[in-house]
A = this chain, B = another copy of it.
Amino acid sequence: MEKNKKFVEAITPMDVDFAQWYTDIVKKAELIEYSTVRGMVILRPYGYAIWENIQRYLDDRFKETGHENVYMPMLIPESLLQKEKDHVVGFAPEVAWVTHGGEEKLTERLCIRPTSETLFCEHFSNIVQSYNDLPKLYNQWCSVIRWEKTTRPFLRTTEFLWQEGHTIHATAEEAKEETLRMLNTYADALKNFLAIPVVKGRKTDKEKFAGAEATYTIEAMMHDGKALQSGTSHYFGDGFAKAFDIKFADKDSQLKYVHETSWGLSTRVIGAIIMVHGDDSGLILPPRVAPVQVVIVPVAQHKEGVLEKAEELRKSISSYARVKLDASDKKPGWKFSEYEMKGVPVRLEVGPKDIEQNQVVLVRRDTREKTIVPMDELETKLKELFDDIHNSLYEKALVRLENMTSEAADFESLKEAAETKPGFIKAMWCGKLSCEEKIKEEAGLSSRCMPFEQEEIADTCVCCGEKAEQMVVWGKAY
């Protein structure tokens, strides 16, 4: 048991050092490995399989709502990036520049895409002539680069994988609908697939996307009370259309500018899964996204018939769930720790006694609760268990989100809450940038969003005391 012991000891408990706990998990659950390239990580098979499941789920949702996948070049000429003035100001300081191709110095430098609005706009301007061509509902799965100064696996890396949706519409109204439809698609995916509750709302002007008229966001709360922006959806109005001259002949024969949206979700959400559900034994994966949903650990596997039964179970379970049999000669105790660390939702134990009694033992990762299940009820019980685990992970996270959300009516309470109560703080805001900046400087809080579900906590701005316009959720963020 030497190795097992060492293995378990190696995780730093959350309460001791949350950041180190996180780093321990991403490495020890074999989600990532560091590379020698600054700020870039390697997604290992287990980590990448989580992303593949998220991809498959979202891609199906996108296609159901009429979206089509395309692929744009990964490089953007500097002059193209500069066409929309707010956009270039926002992104130029953090892009990687290609200056040489082979032996030749380029006459114009190219950046690796930090996001692809400019490329999509140029393409749209070439392919759209009339209202018949609208809407265009495009999506792209790719990697992007943003030259970050400090990086953490999944949360902030120089390169990351994501999808970016880009759509154009004949009217502002349709584009606004699309923006919110996709925000809701993200929120539903987090709830129904990742068991993560979120706060939905609009970003303040300070926090919105470079070039957008409005940015909407879903904000999840991590175990330590910090916020993680988990997906954003932007409404551009006709700003980009004017910069890139994307016009169409409408039914009334008038030439009009299109209205545009974009929306993105990245491997960042894997960070959210870890920090919302994990515990001191490691990762806890919600069953729907878990690469392995059930791991079979044979007990006393040297005894006659045990491995055969385990393999028979693996084969039958594989027709309705993602299952793995660990028949290696490691001790069961080592295996228990290993798959707890990896967050496999259900462990199935089967030994000579179980075989005799035609049963198996199921152990939930989240609560460690054990159930003895007759073999012929296994499929039904497993499926129920997956739903139970999903729902209970979601409920637990929702209770945390609610319990760790406080309110502040004046600046002193806001500062006190910022210091003493980790989590979200609801407070009123007048809408002025100066107040938002003062709250950042003096209380260390950023505005996470102006939630769609508004409450009237007070009449006046928590900062300046003038008339309040919005309730804002404030917090510290990853």
Contacts and interface: CB of A to CB of B under 8 A. Distances in A.
Nearest to A43: B71
Given A95-B102, A98-B96, A35 B123 contact: yes
B73 A35 contact: yes
Nearest to A75: B37
Contact of A72 (B42, B77, B93): B42
A57 to B, nearest CB: 15
Nearest to A267: B71
A321 interface: no
Contacts of A70: 42-45, 48
A80 interface: yes
Contacts of A72: 35, 42
A150 to B, nearest CB: 13
A110 interface: yes
B40 A75 contact: yes
Nearest to A120: B42
A102 B99 CA distance: 13
Contact of A98 (B35, B98, B127): B98
Interface stretch (A141-149, A416-424, A426-434): A141-149
A102 B145 contact: no
A122 interface: yes
Interface string A93-106: 11111111111100
B42 A73 contact: yes
Interface residues of A, number: 54
Among A38, A98, A158, the most chain B Cβ lie within 10 Å of the Cβ of A98
Interface in A102-155: 102-104, 109-110, 112, 119, 122-123, 126-127, 138, 142-143, 145, 147
A159 B71 CA distance: 11
Contacts of A159: 73-75
A33 interface: yes
A177 interface: no
A257 to B, nearest CB: 21
A36 interface: yes
A69 interface: yes
A68 B50 CA distance: 12
A456 interface: no
A74 to B, nearest CB: 6
A84 to B, nearest CB: 16
Interface in A61-98: 68-77, 80, 93-98
Contacts of A142: 143
Contacts of A48: 68-71
A73 B94 CA distance: 17
A161 B71 contact: yes
27 contacts: A33-B126, A36-B80, A36-B122, A37-B75, A37-B110, A40-B74, A42-B70, A42-B71, A42-B72, A42-B73, A43-B70, A44-B70, A45-B70, A45-B138, A48-B68, A51-B71, A71-B161, A73-B159, A74-B74, A74-B143, A93-B102, A95-B102, A96-B100, A96-B110, A101-B158, A104-B147, A112-B112
Given A35-B72, A75-B159, A97-B100, 4 more contacts: A37-B77, A43-B71, A44-B70, A104-B147
